[in-house]
């Protein structure tokens, strides 16, 4: 260690009590985190790319500073999906500090990693008060049946109004309107469940029909439209 001439000539003043870091909640216990290995928890981080034309939701399950599980969800340009694939291969097994200092291919994923690092470091995790934390694989619960990201896609114009395209339930087939041309419900197909049935050998047409359902007062609709073509 090199010291300046001024510091070399100073006398020693002893440090008082060492209070240490403030404890943070981690997996049902309070921890004074001093090193990366002291960090555990499952949390989410949201990031965006420089031109702000895409975003990433990153979920990490960290045990003793090591990323044991990662879920990378992106929306935006087509390249972001390939970036997500590469980032998912990169992340597991790294410490959260390594991951923070690793190029995760896409700006949005890098920013999400920065944000989730702060969540973990400050004890703001979903498993902060869950004794023993959440098991590896818990991130898949965000995806639901069929393991598809929960995406809401809507389009609207002042001239023609709103079009529901995709909801958490699935791909929107039709929108139901009342006598005032206001939406009162919609018909959808659950793509995840449909694909699961097809993979098990069910005829695609049968699988499609069995996974069609409605929401709201769709049955009372005076008019039904296809949101993609009408």
- Please, what are the domains in the chain? 23-141 (3.90.1010.10), 153-225 (no CATH)
> Strand, coil or helix: what is 100?
helix
Distance CA 183, CA 115 (A): 37
Q: For the chain, how big is the Rg over CA atoms in Å? A: 25
Is pTM beyond 0.95? Reply is no
Q: How far apart are CA 40 and CA 96, in angstroms?
A: 10
Question: What does each C-alpha distance from 192 to 136, 169, 185, 216 come to in angstroms?
Answer: 22, 10, 21, 21
Rounded distance, CA 102 to CA 144, Å?
A: 30
Per-residue pLDDT in tens (0 to 9) along the chain, 230 residues = 899 999 999 999 998 888 889 999 999 999 999 999 999 999 999 999 888 888 999 999 999 999 999 999 999 888 888 999 999 999 999 999 999 999 998 999 999 999 999 999 999 999 999 999 999 999 999 887 788 888 899 999 999 999 999 998 899 999 999 999 999 999 999 999 999 999 999 999 999 999 999 999 999 999 999 999 99
Question: What number of other Cβ atoms are within 10 A of residue 33's Cβ?
Answer: 20
Q: Give burial (CB, 10 Å; 0-12/13-18/19+) of 145.
A: exposed
Q: Which of these, 81, 71, 134, lies nearest to 105 by C-alpha position?
A: 81
Instruction: Report how far residue 74's alpha carbon sits from residue 56's, in angstroms, rounded to the nearest whole number.
Output: 4
């Amino acid at each position: 260690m090199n010291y300046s001439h001024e510091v070399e000539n100073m006398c020693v003043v002893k440090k008082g009590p060492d209070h240490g870091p403030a404890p943070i909640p981690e997996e049902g216990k309070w921890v004074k985190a001093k090193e990366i290995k002291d960090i555990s928890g499952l949390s989410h981080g949201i990031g965006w790319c420089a031109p702000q034309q895409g975003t990433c939701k990153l979920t990490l399950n960290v045990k003793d500073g090591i990323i044991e599980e990662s879920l990378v969800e992106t929306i935006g340009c087509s390249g972001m999906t390939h970036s997500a694939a590469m980032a998912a291969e990169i992340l597991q097994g790294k410490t959260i500090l390594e991951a923070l200092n690793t190029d995760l291919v896409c700006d949005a994923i890098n920013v999400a990693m920065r944000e989730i690092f702060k969540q973990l470091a400050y004890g703001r995790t979903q498993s902060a008060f869950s004794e023993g934390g959440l098991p590896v694989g818990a991130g898949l619960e965000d995806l639901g049946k069929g393991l598809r990201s929960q995406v809401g896609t809507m389009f609207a114009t002042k001239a023609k109004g709103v079009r529901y395209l995709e909801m958490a339930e699935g791909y929107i087939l039709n929108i139901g309107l009342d006598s005032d041309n206001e939406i009162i419900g919609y018909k959808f197909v659950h793509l995840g469940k449909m694909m699961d049935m097809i993979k098990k050998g069910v005829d695609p047409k049968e699988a499609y029909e069995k996974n069609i359902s409605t929401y709201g007062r769709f049955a009372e609709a005076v008019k039904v439209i296809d949101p993609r073509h009408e």
